[in-house]
Homo-oligomer: A and B are copies of this chain.
Amino acid sequence: MKNDLTGTSIIGRSRGAVTADAFRAFDPTTGNAVEPAFYSATLDELDRAAALAEAARIPYGVIPGRERAIFLRRIADNIEALGDELIERATLETSLPNARFVGERGRTCMQLRMFADLLDEGSWVDARIDHAIPDREPLPKPDVRSMLRPVGPVAVFCASNFPLAYSVAGGDTASALAAGCPVIVNAHIAHPGTAELVGNAVADAAMECGMPEGVFSLLFSSGYDIGQALVKHPSIKAVGFTGSRRGGRALMDIAAARPEPIPVYTEMSSVNPTFILPNAVRERGDAIVEGLLASVTGGVGQFCTKPGLVFLPTGSPGDGFAEKFDRMIEDTAPAPLLTGGISDAYKAASSKRKNEVKGFTFNTQSDLEGFAVNPSTFEVPAVDYLNTPELNEEIFGPTTLLVRSDRHDELLAIARSLEGQLTASVHGTEEDLRSYADLIAILETKVGRLIFNGFSTGVEVCPSMVHGGPYPATSDGRSTAVGSRAMTRFARLVCFQNFPDPSLPDELKEANPLGIDRMIDGKMSRI
């Protein structure tokens, strides 16, 4: 092996200690622990990482965007240079297929390079200039200029379900580093080896590009104490997290209770309601049922955008759809979930749901090894759904709930009752979309993304993407965790009044040396 895993945290340019608090990853297929041991960071190591991040805050924050871009691209290069070793370790720690990680690595490196491109282009800072009018009456108008600047050191929590794209060098880290913020990552307990490999790639890139020490640290921990202490630490100025509703809310509460509350971007819980309207079942039922199965079982149902709630018409075409879907679920092989905890939670929630609904279908294979679970589907009439708030709870894993209704007013009532969601999808004709405009208007107040004739899984990384939504989908429904706008989560506005040109950041200098889009005296301009 090229990279021997040490199991120790990365504290700036040095390594953490081999501590007494050791833990190991598990192979979800067998449920057995795999080597080597990883060692929880101490609170003292956390303090050192935070002090280094604090010291790096100003030097890293003033490095020109085009130099930060070089750093981000180097991270991507270093991740690719890990080659098969990274793919194999990620597969070992998650039991997700190799091909998934080839794709996820591609997305991870693409995100890093996308933010690098944004830094090269430079207009993301929302630069605005209002020129002075010294002879304005009754008072002179000052020269006022402003732009986005980094918010300060950011704590990033790795996601269980995206060991690459939303972990050590994933979307949160990439957007925070791009915005000019040092990052301290809290590794996920389920894939520490993957975390160390990627952590080395980032730390090496920081050295190779001459970035200040403390721009990046990676902390291992077997429990919640390090993560919670990180969010409480006065040097930390923002948090990125993807995980459970309980975990995300706990971090939100800790951050809100700080002497200095800080912004927290948690992505937590979404059942991604999917409305299949009568014309869609009639005209494209077979295509939709196959798309639905792929969306529900892809990644063993462990995507945050998995459709967990599907509204299907009552009556015969809907019945045929439901029967076909039931058979397909029965025919889907069991597969291991990411951790023993997730597997146990899936089994417990599925058992509970059996008692809450009228119909259910499980793949009944009984010899489940490791963290494997059986895919399942549940069915309930709309009236029962409306009377059972528990049915809105997300079950993480390969399962969904079919709610049977074709009454327009019932769909509206259901839409009104929904909590905040990442997405909602509507399958129908263009005519349906017009006649259900009232449904769309309600859904718009509940979600970050509305999808027509498509499924919610598969999140395009592009400037217009919104991967967010009102609580509990996320902690901050104004923001997106995917796409180029994600960078602004880790920035804040700073204004310079009557500053002489040489003392202004390049983005605000009169001559526009970076050639970026700016708002000048109220009008967009590239001059």
Q: Which positions in A face B, CB cutoff 8 Å?
A: 57-58, 61-62, 103, 123, 128-130, 138-139, 141-142, 144-146, 149, 151-152, 237, 252-253, 256-257, 260-263, 419-420, 430, 433-434, 437, 440-442, 444-445, 447-454, 458, 460, 462-466, 468, 470-472, 475-480, 484-485, 491-500, 502-503, 517, 519, 521-522, 524
Contacts and interface: CB of A to CB of B under 8 A. Distances in A.
Given A61-B445, A454-B497, 17 more contacts: A62-B441, A130-B460, A145-B464, A151-B477, A256-B256, A256-B261, A260-B470, A262-B471, A449-B495, A450-B494, A451-B498, A462-B522, A464-B495, A464-B519, A466-B493, A468-B492, A478-B493
Nearest to A496: B450
Contacts of A62: 441
B476 A485 contact: no
Contacts of A502: 430, 434
Given A130-B464, A139-B458, A151-B477, A497 B256 contact: no
Contacts of A495: 448-450, 464-466
A493 B502 CA distance: 36
B433 A503 contact: yes
Contact of A141 (B444, B460, B497): B460
A499 B450 contact: yes
Contacts of A144: 460, 462, 464-465
A498 B458 CA distance: 13
A22 B444 CA distance: 42
A445 B58 contact: yes
Contacts of A462: 130, 141, 144, 522
Nearest to A258: B471
Contacts of A261: 252, 256, 471, 475
Contact of A500 (B257, B433, B441, B468): B433
Contacts of A524: 123, 517, 524
B452 A130 contact: no
A442 to B, nearest CB: 7
A254 B499 CA distance: 39
A466 B450 CA distance: 33
25 contacts: A103-B138, A130-B462, A130-B463, A139-B458, A142-B454, A144-B465, A146-B449, A149-B444, A261-B475, A430-B503, A440-B503, A448-B495, A449-B496, A450-B497, A452-B498, A452-B499, A452-B500, A453-B498, A454-B498, A465-B495, A480-B493, A484-B522, A485-B493, A517-B524, A524-B524
* In the A-B complex, the 5 residue pairs with the closest CB atoms: A256-B256, A466-B495, A128-B464, A449-B495, A130-B462
Nearest to A129: B464
B517 A494 contact: no
A499 B445 contact: no
A505 to B, nearest CB: 9
B452 A497 contact: yes
A256 B480 CA distance: 20
A115 to B, nearest CB: 13
Contacts of A470: 237, 260, 492
A216 to B, nearest CB: 19
Contacts of A475: 261
A503 B476 CA distance: 27
A494 B444 contact: yes
Contact of A448 (B437, B445, B493): B493
